Amino acid sequence: MTSSDRRTVYLDHAATTPMLPAAIEAMTHHLARTGNASSLHGSGRAARRTVEESRETIAAALGAQPSEVVFTSGGTEADNLALKGLWWARLAEDPRRRRILLSGIEHHAVLDPAVWLAQHEKAEIEWLPVDELGRVRPDDVRRAVEQDPGSVSFVTLMMANNEVGTLQPIREIAGLAREYDIPVHTDAVQAVGQVPVDFADLGVDAMTVSAHKLGGPYGIGALVVHKETKLTPILHGGGQERDVRSGTLDAPATAGFAVAVEHAIKHQPDEAQRLAELRDALVSGVVNTIEGAQLSGDPTDRLPNNAHLSFGDCEGDSLLLLLDARGIEVSTGSACNAGVAEPSHVLLAMGYDDQRARGSLRFTLGHTSTRADIDAVLENIGPVVERAKSAGLQNVGRKV
């Protein structure tokens, strides 16, 4: 069998997942129609109807009110809007509110805007500790808040880690923050469709969602914002989306987004069970086959589709490329860091040493994943690890 005949095994669904046929159909249908949702004529009203019906569908699936769903260009913009919007709104109410509480395992879409606020707006970043499983403890959040509650701007913590899959106790943390009238933002990009997510039940003030992680289109996401939460806009123009996010609304993308979210939530319980069984077969197969292989993150309280494994004395990049040559596509962590020869900031924050952090792979499953995909990994992982270790030893010898 030639390389062109080989079936690709795609196990990088945390980076992006293939669009659902129904989402493609919905988006394609609306791409053939003309209309700006801000226009008052018939075509504009038709586009507006598409947007608002999509908003209602997404809100119902996520346990929110339609007016709380603010469409954005994706998860990164939603995170930026949450952090910068909360920062400036809170600062306008009280100039003492300069402390931002977050963990060191957040996605760069949260980390980088926080650092930007520190560099340009004199925000005071306070890093919440994480344990060896990648979890923030509510007691640590309470201790940080109680140092000076009146100086805290907001708390931001991801609902599920995009690299190791550990779930965070967001509901509990939101509850304790509410005691001090401190808003909480959570990046739920990886969680929606994998575990139950209900905005109202979580008790957070803002929540980030992205379509392309759910089988929807690229380039659209949403920040779900509680109706009483104040945000300062970071985009100015036409005043769309409650004056919070200006810009012409992408009606076709909202339609595809809505179909994907509704499908993901409807099938979440059954799909989570199916993916967890495949994930467990992958983890047990690798750990029992490869000496020194270890699972990262919480072994039970984790995303059902995530298997993050470290492999000891070999480089994750080498493992990735060797698997890729065999038609198996995985990740070394966050796709946004692909190609950067640095150990994962998530693993370092969890206390991993540099070598273990470098020698890790993330396998993430999705709606196209099958048992045949798992069997392909288990068939190839042994030879790949051996070759990567040999290459590492040869490189060490040349350096010496």
Cα angle: 30, vertex 31, 35; to 5 degrees? 75
The answer to whether 336 is a known catalytic residue is yes
Q: Give CA–CA dist 81/277, Å, rounded.
A: 37
165 Rama class: left (phi>0) / alpha (psi -120 to 50) / beta: left
Beta strand 294-295 with 124-128: parallel, antiparallel or unpaired? unpaired
3-state SS class at 282: helix
**Euclidean distance between CA atoms 60 and 66, whole angstroms:** 8
- Helical residues (DSSP H) of the chain, grouped into ranges: 21-31, 42-62, 75-93, 108-121, 138-147, 170-178, 199-202, 251-289, 316-325, 345-349, 354-358, 371-399
**Encoded amino acid at 93, one letter:** E
Count other Cβ atoms within 10 Å, centred on residue 272. Answer: 17
Interatomic CA distance for residues 77 and 72, integer angstroms? 6
Give all strands of the β-sheet with 360-364 in edge-to-edge order: 294-295, 306-310, 360-364
CA 277 to chain centre: 22
Residue among 321, 336, 340, 393 flagged as catalytic: 336
What gap in Å lies between CA 105 and CA 132, rounded to an integer?
Answer: 11
Task: Write the burial class of residue 119 (CB in 10 Å: 0-12 exposed, 13-18 middle, 19+ buried).
Answer: exposed
Burial of 161 (0-12, 13-18, 19+ CB in 10 A): buried
Tell me how far apart the 2 most distant CA atoms of the chain are, in Å.
74
| Alpha-carbon gap, residue 267 to 286, rounded angstroms | 28
The two tokens of residue 133 are 């499983």
Q: Any idea which residues carry the catalytic annotation?
A: 336
